[in-house]
Structure 1
Amino acid sequence: MRTAAVVGTGLIGTSVALALARREVGVHLLDVDESAARTAAALGAGTVGPPAAPVDIAVLAVPPGCVGEVLAAQQAKGLARSYTDVASVKAGPEQDALKLADPSCYIGGHPMAGRELSGPLAASATLFEGRSWVLTPTGATGTDTLNRALEVVALCAAVPVVMESCAHDRAVALVSHTPHLVAALMAARLEHMSDDASHLAGQGLRDVTRIAGGDPRLWGDILDGNAGAVADVLEALAVDLGTAVAALRGLAGDDADARAEGMVRVSDLLDRGRRGRGRVAGKHGQKPTRCTPVHVLIGDQAGELARLLATVADLDVNVEEVSIDHSPAERSGLVELVVEASAAVRMARRLTEFGWEVQRPQPRADPTPQAVVPPPKAGAERRRVPLVTGTA
């Protein structure tokens, strides 16, 4: 592949352009917002403006509801020999593409990567490395178009996954679109929280609500394009929420039977959640390995995290995940380095030798069912922990 065009220079479009340009593909950048295209060009993503002759492939990085219109307009201009898109909904754009004068030149696409940030300045040439990239060819898709799309995926160091468009939309409703909506619903509960509650917020809350920071306009378009499939998942979730509410009401009361039943239901929901979490694939789609987090205390000054990661790199230990939780009261942070359980103790010992303050590694919970503490027997006294206020 020698030439490509990217229509839409937001996070995903600019990231695609950066990845292609890094592999010496001549990329032309098009955007109704010329300032965004110029920003992408300044980052090294390509040159602003249409090509003099048709490029090998055009990547349409526009919202799902705009794909059909943009695709028809660019095909009429003869922008490219083949076209693909990166929208997170596939059935609607596919239906629009089949109405084209030449549907053989189009194939749907969706790289399963992104960030809660938006715009070209958030882009990265490595955003897609090792990530799944769905392609949804139709019966009309030509072989040349399929091969060009596969080459784009390869140049972006992603992993191609071929699916039917409707199967894709059902899958992403479960693993992407509904989780985003649920994160937004949880974050909405925080809109008017007290300062006291805000000061108690930790990494768990940030993990749950992180993706709620996405662009509401873009996500509104995504949910509009996949509304039925998302509603199906949300409806099933609502049943579990109703069960959880009823169970917790039982636990909050004084009726021993209701409390016993409530504990059984809550335990079942938590157990199902742990088993479901265990189904999420690890890196590169592999089965998750048993991992252990190693916690390291670092100072809150410039370069401290980089210094820690440089030390870790010298230990020859594969780190699965990295996160940092800042202390609200101290100028420090707690870095969590998730590694294979067999390497955790050795890594902790070596970091300590290098002068880092390391907490004792604790294995993550195994996804297999565990015994549940039974509820109190009928007539047993309910112990309440008093709330202590003031200072010592």
Structure 2
Amino acid sequence: MSGQPAGLGSVLVVGTGLIGTSVALALRGHGVTVMIADQDPGAVRLARELGAGEEWAPGGARVDLAVIAVPPQFVAQWLLDLQKTEAARFYTDVASVKALPIAQAAQLGCDMTTYVAGHPLAGRERSGPAAARADVFLGRSWAYCPGPETSGGAVAAVLSLIDLCGGNAVQVDPVVHDEAVALVSHAPHVAASAMAARLAGASETALGLAGPGVRDVTRVAGGDPGMWTAILSGNARPVAEILEAVADDLSTVAAALRAVSVDGAAIGRVTDLLTRGNAGQSRIPGKHGGPPRAYAVVQVLVGDRPGELARLFQVAKDAGVNIEDVRLEHTPGLPLGAADLYVQPEAAEVLAEALRAHGWHVP
């Protein structure tokens, strides 16, 4: 690769959804001049009100980097149009599919020396500029996929972008990237949606009994269907292969459960899937991307009142205990809930005693 590294004094963000607006907010926090553009004037107006930047006027001053934050199928055309007007020195995108936009950009005749495909592995269940946060990328992996013809200046600009947003840069082949996100992001979203779809016709009795298990399994199903349709169609084959494998497992378990009353050995096939599930879940990286850790859980009852969590965390701070994670479960019909505090095993009893001493109910 060749070319000089580029500092980022000015950036154009095309697409003011959750990710695009979050990129703009993060850059603005570092004093970068940010221009924003979107086909929806209302989205641009809201992003501006949130402090994401000023509206871009085509034909204006050339920026250092253009960040294309649109669905995968539209990245290449935007890249071509921006390059024709020399809108930026370098270009990247943040779509969650990489092989498709790269191939389409090459087919359209885009200048591939100035383009680095990228994907920050961050997001929320909500969408749109109102859901944007400057800190959404902190500590999160950010894939980037330079090609053999990519200039060093383009790579340096994208690495500077990732650094300013607080992400962890991970260079990866685009095909490998798409297969990986199919497994850890795209197929899980479809699986969660399939389970959540069963709830659409559920009885009030069933919904009244819903606990943290079903909420955990279906959490991501609240994403925007239109956005996810575009993502899935752009990574169709890898996602389909994983879903077929999952469907095979589910069919095997369903058949075993139907047979269990006449074939006692059938339950072994259910145990096999649950065991493999334990093994797979244990491989998910732990805090800060390190190896998974087994935490102890201290459960405490929390009133549904302002400031309760702040008081809870203050007790932990005073006791010198770091809370690694927290899960909340609300109690239907009552103004209280349970907070599960995940801590290092050796700190569990210290925290429990400190909470009890301050009047908290620890079962």
TM superposition score normalised by structure 2: 0.94
- Quick one: distance in 1 between partners of 2:167 and 2:110? 30
Give the alignment partner of residue 97 of structure 2, picking from 77, 89, 94: 89
Instruction: Specify the alignment match of 1:303 in structure 2.
Output: 307
Instruction: Specify the alignment match of 1:173 in structure 2.
Output: 182
Q: Is the 8 A contact 1:3 1:55 kept in 2?
A: yes
Give the alignment partner of residue 28 of structure 1, picking from 32, 35, 38: 35
- Quick one: distance in 1 between partners of 2:223 and 2:351? 35
Q: Is the 8 A contact 2:297 2:343 kept in 1?
A: yes
Instruction: Specify the alignment match of 2:213 in structure 1.
Output: 204
Instruction: Specify the alignment match of 1:382 in structure 2.
Output: none
1:185 aligns with 2:194: yes
Q: Is the 8 A contact 2:298 2:340 kept in 1?
A: yes
How far residue 315 of structure 1 moved from its aligned partner, in angstroms, is 3.6
How far residue 73 of structure 1 moved from its aligned partner, in angstroms, is 1.3
- Quick one: distance in 1 between partners of 2:270 and 2:333? 34
How far residue 190 of structure 1 moved from its aligned partner, in angstroms, is 0.7
How far residue 262 of structure 1 moved from its aligned partner, in angstroms, is 1.8
C-alpha spacing 1:101/1:177, structure 2 compared with 1 (3 Å)? closer
C-alpha spacing 1:313/1:63, structure 2 compared with 1 (3 Å)? farther
Give the alignment partner of residue 63 of structure 1, picking from 45, 68, 71: 71
How far residue 33 of structure 1 moved from its aligned partner, in angstroms, is 1.2
How far residue 146 of structure 1 moved from its aligned partner, in angstroms, is 0.5
Structure 1, residues 66-100: CA drift from partner, whole Å, max 9, x if none? Answer: 11111111111221111111100000101122243
Instruction: Specify the alignment match of 1:330 in structure 2.
Output: 334
Alignment of 1:233-272 (within 5 A): 233-251=242-260, 253=261, 255=262, 258-259=263-264, 261-272=265-276
Structure 1, residues 10-67: CA drift from partner, whole Å, max 9, x if none? Answer: 1111111111110111111111112212211222221122373111111111111111
Alignment of 1:1-392 (within 5 A): 1-50=8-57, 52-98=60-106, 99-251=108-260, 253=261, 255=262, 258-259=263-264, 261-359=265-363
Amino acid in the other structure paired with 1:135:
Y
- Quick one: distance in 2 between partners of 1:32 and 1:208? 34
Structure 1, residues 345-378: CA drift from partner, whole Å, max 9, x if none? Answer: 211211222222223xxxxxxxxxxxxxxxxxxx
C-alpha spacing 1:107/1:267, structure 2 compared with 1 (3 Å)? same
Q: Is the 8 A contact 1:50 1:79 kept in 2?
A: no
- Quick one: distance in 1 between partners of 2:197 and 2:349? 40
Please give the root-mean-square deviation of Cα atoms over the aligned residues, in Å: 1.4
After superposing on structure 2, the runs of 4+ consecutive aligned residues of structure 1 that deviate more than 4 Å are: none
- Quick one: distance in 2 between partners of 1:311 and 1:155? 34
Q: Which has the larger radius of gyration?
A: 1
- Quick one: distance in 2 between partners of 1:316 and 1:217? 46
Structure 1's unaligned 5+ residue stretches are: 360-392
- Quick one: distance in 2 between partners of 1:89 and 1:64? 6
TM superposition score normalised by structure 1: 0.88
Structure 1, residues 164-186: CA drift from partner, whole Å, max 9, x if none? Answer: 10000000000000000000000
User: Partner of 1:82: helix, strand, or coil?
Assistant: strand
Structure 1, residues 326-361: CA drift from partner, whole Å, max 9, x if none? Answer: 0013111111121222222211211222222223xx
How far residue 269 of structure 1 moved from its aligned partner, in angstroms, is 1.0
Amino acid in the other structure paired with 2:228:
W
User: Partner of 2:324: helix, strand, or coil?
Assistant: strand
Q: Is the 8 A contact 1:97 1:106 kept in 2?
A: no
How far residue 276 of structure 1 moved from its aligned partner, in angstroms, is 0.3
Amino acid in the other structure paired with 2:83:
Q
Percent of aligned pairs sharing the same letter: 49
Structure 1, residues 258-278: CA drift from partner, whole Å, max 9, x if none? Answer: 12x222111111111011000
How far residue 246 of structure 1 moved from its aligned partner, in angstroms, is 1.7
C-alpha spacing 1:337/1:100, structure 2 compared with 1 (3 Å)? farther
**How many residues are matched?**
354
Q: Is the 8 A contact 1:107 1:149 kept in 2?
A: yes
User: Partner of 1:116: helix, strand, or coil?
Assistant: coil
Structure 2's unaligned 5+ residue stretches are: 1-7
Higher RCO (C-alpha under 8 Å, 6+ residues apart) = 2
